[in-house]
Amino acid sequence: MTQRTEVAVFGGGCFWCTEAVFDELRGVLSVVSGYAGGTVIDPTYEQVCGGGTGHAEVIRIEFDPEQISFRDLLTVFFATHDPTTLNRQGNDVGTQYRSAILYANEEQKQHAESFIKELEGAGSFDKPITTTLEPLIDFYPAENYHQKYYANNPFQPYCQVMIPPKLRKLRKQFMELLKSHGKGAAD
């Protein structure tokens, strides 16, 4: 029996942060940090950070829809970053840090549009959602040292400040979606 997998691509600021969050979810088979949404072929981190490529820092999530739905991924995505700040997450500023859903197909686009309308209708945020919906044209994996960055560099100062609060929120609000219920909150 072959496992059916799907792909979701999200930009929610620094990919170190989003990767750490989605790595903890059951049904997520892999999370790869990378670049998408721009015009430069095979960009480097330095090029993307410069802001001139049009690419955003994103994560490519391969998931098993039998274990976790695209809607669940959207729920976690919107809960673990600020989708109301245009081209910014915290101190990370520029289009490369935009909140973005890069949809792989029309079905994902429709789900994302509907989900955003639900959030707006419910008044989930004090400000309008600025998350862009963009077709996924190309995805370029980031350099190897960016992959599993938080897992490999938990004491890096930026990571220590930015990632544990996101993981605490994830573990508190979405325990039923975690790979392991035995993990404690990050300190």
**Model pLDDT for residues 164-180, shown as the tens digit of each residue:** 999 999 999 999 999 98
Reply yes or no on whether 17 is catalytic.
Answer: no
Write down all domains in the chain, each with its CATH number in brackets: 6-177 (3.30.1060.10)
For residue 3, the model assigns a pLDDT of 73
Confidence of residue 181 (pLDDT cuts 50, 70, 90): low
Assess whether pLDDT exceeds 50 at residue 183: no
More confident residue, 1 or 104: 104
Share the mean pLDDT of the chain.
94
Q: What pLDDT does residue 1 have?
A: 59
Per-residue pLDDT for 31 more than 60? yes
11 neighbors 57 (Cβ within 8 angstroms): yes
Render pLDDT for 57-105 as a digit per residue (tens, 0 to 9): 999 999 999 999 999 999 999 999 999 999 999 889 999 999 999 999 9
pLDDT at 127: 96
Q: Two tokens at 98?
A: 């935009």
- 């490529």: which residue's tokens? 53
pLDDT of the residue at 156: 95
Cα(42)–Cα(147) distance, integer angstroms: 16
Average the pLDDT over 107-127 and give the result.
97
Query: Which residues, at least 6 apart from 122, have a Cβ–Cβ distance to it below 8 Å?
Result: none
Residue 2 reports pLDDT greater than 90: no
Residues 62, 26: Cα–Cα separation, whole Å: 11
The 6-12 sheet, strands edge to edge: 132-135, 99-103, 6-12, 56-63, 28-36, 139-141
Residue 35 predicted with pLDDT over 90: yes
In the prediction, which pLDDT does 180 show?
Answer: 81
Query: Is a pLDDT exceeding 50 seen at residue 185?
Result: no
What are the CA-CA distances from residue 105 to residues 20, 52, 59, 130 (Å)?
Answer: 25, 26, 17, 21
Q: Which of 14, 17, 49, 159 is catalytic?
A: 14
CB atoms within 10 A of CB 123: 7
Spatial separation of the C-alpha atoms in residues 127 and 105, rounded to whole Å: 28
